[in-house]
Amino acid sequence: MTDSAAWREEVKAVLRHEGKRSGGAREAVVDALAGHDCCVSAQEIADELRGGESRVGLASVYRALELLHGEGLVQRVDLGGGGYRYEPILPGGEHHHHVVCDRCGEVTAFEDPTLERAIERMERRLRRVVSAHDVVLHADCRRCAARA
């Protein structure tokens, strides 16, 4: 089973355990999230769902994302640009960070175990329960760098 399929199962299990009903919009949002490698915005999810046959309201997308975030199932990522992006917190525990191009908004992901360890050490030193962390690098993407 792929990580995203496992994640989808976990989401369903958690929501059922919480007594949440499984309406169409919420499942559609979960499926859309599971189908992406990296973070997506609420608007992108809504557009994707509206592209299909469903009639999902933007508000329902936000409500689903907020619920999933509250349950610790999705991470809300701030990349600048005045909006949020969301991505699944996969059960394997691996996660990545982001490089954003400030010119065109392109987002790419990277992983770095050394950086991860440094952050974990820092979190222990804080003596506070850290629920999540973000690292965002700002750099021109290759296309914008070439054009400049």
Partner DNA sequence: GTTCCTGCAAAATTTTTGCATCAGT
Partner DNA sequence: ACTGATGCAAAAATTTTGCAGGAAC
Q: Which residues bind DNA (CB under 7 A)?
A: 19-27, 41-43, 54-60, 62-64, 66, 81-84
Tokens of 48: 């994707």
Which of the choices DNA, a copy of itself, none does residue 64 contact, using the CB cut-off of 5 to 8 A by kind? DNA
CB 43 to a copy of itself: min, Å: 14
CB 42 to a copy of itself: min, Å: 12
CB 28 to DNA: min, Å: 7
CB 56 to DNA: min, Å: 4
In angstroms, what CA-CA distances link 8 with 19, 44, 63, 78, 145?
17, 19, 17, 23, 38
Which of the choices a copy of itself, DNA, none does residue 71 contact, using the CB cut-off of 5 to 8 A by kind? none
Cβ proximity to DNA, 28 vs 89, nearer residue: 28
| β-pair partners for 98 | 109, 136
Residues at the interface with a copy of itself (CB under 8 A): 76, 78-80, 82, 84, 99, 102, 110, 112, 114-115, 117-119, 121-123, 125-126, 128-142, 145
- At a CB cut-off of 8 Å and minimum separation 6, what does 11 contact? 30, 68, 73
Cβ proximity to a copy of itself, 38 vs 132, nearer residue: 132
In angstroms, what CA-CA distances link 60 with 28, 29, 89, 142?
10, 9, 20, 36
d(CA 64, CA 113): 31
DSSP state of 38: S
